[in-house]
């Protein structure tokens, strides 16, 4: 997907109602007060060539940077959050969705206030054998 397509997805989610229960959507997962969008595909690598894997990781990082730059043009400099401190609070059940899922898969994100909703972009990491996945969240739930 292109940066323009990522922006279009985020814009559609900013105007979409939230469902009453968590479930899959055409772009990811939605639940009460949030939409999570899978903007770029994660790949399982297993024993595949490390050079191919590094190339894909570089591509995801470049897409993240390009998208963050375009969102910064819209809403100014993002708040950059490190999510490491949420691990203990998540294990204790003190962190609401979507922040719990985000902190389970990422160690940082870029966050903007866009009207009445929060918009964040991050790279989800699903395991050592997977490349990162470019993700976005649109939510009315304040960050922890």
Per-domain residue ranges of the chain: 3-16+33-139
Q: Please tell me the pTM assigned to this model.
A: 0.87
For the chain of 144 residues, list the mean pLDDT of each consecutive stretch of 10. 93 96 94 94 60 75 94 96 74 80 89 96 81 92 90
Q: According to the 3-state scheme, what is the secondary structure of the chain? A: CCHHHHHHHHHHHHHCCCCCCCEECCCEEEECCEEEEECCCCCECCCCCHHHHHHHHHHHHHHHHHHHHHHHHHHCCCEEEECCCHHHHHHCCCCCCCHHHHHHHCCEEEEEEECCEEEEEEEECCCCCECCEEEEEEECCCCC
């Amino acid at each position: 997907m292109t940066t323009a397509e990522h922006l279009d997805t985020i814009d559609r989610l900013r105007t979409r109602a939230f469902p009453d229960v968590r479930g899959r959507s055409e772009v990811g997962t939605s639940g009460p007060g949030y939409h999570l969008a899978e903007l770029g595909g994660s790949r399982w690598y297993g024993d595949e060539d490390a050079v191919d894997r590094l190339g894909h990781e570089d591509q995801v990082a470049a897409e993240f940077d390009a998208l963050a730059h375009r969102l910064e043009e819209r809403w100014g400099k993002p708040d950059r959050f490190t999510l490491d401190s949420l691990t203990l609070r998540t294990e204790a059940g003190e962190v609401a969705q979507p922040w719990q899922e985000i902190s389970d898969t990422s160690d940082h994100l870029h966050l903007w206030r866009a009207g009445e909703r929060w918009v964040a972009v991050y790279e989800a990491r699903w395991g050592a054998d997977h490349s990162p996945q470019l993700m976005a969240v649109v939510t009315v739930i304040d960050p922890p």
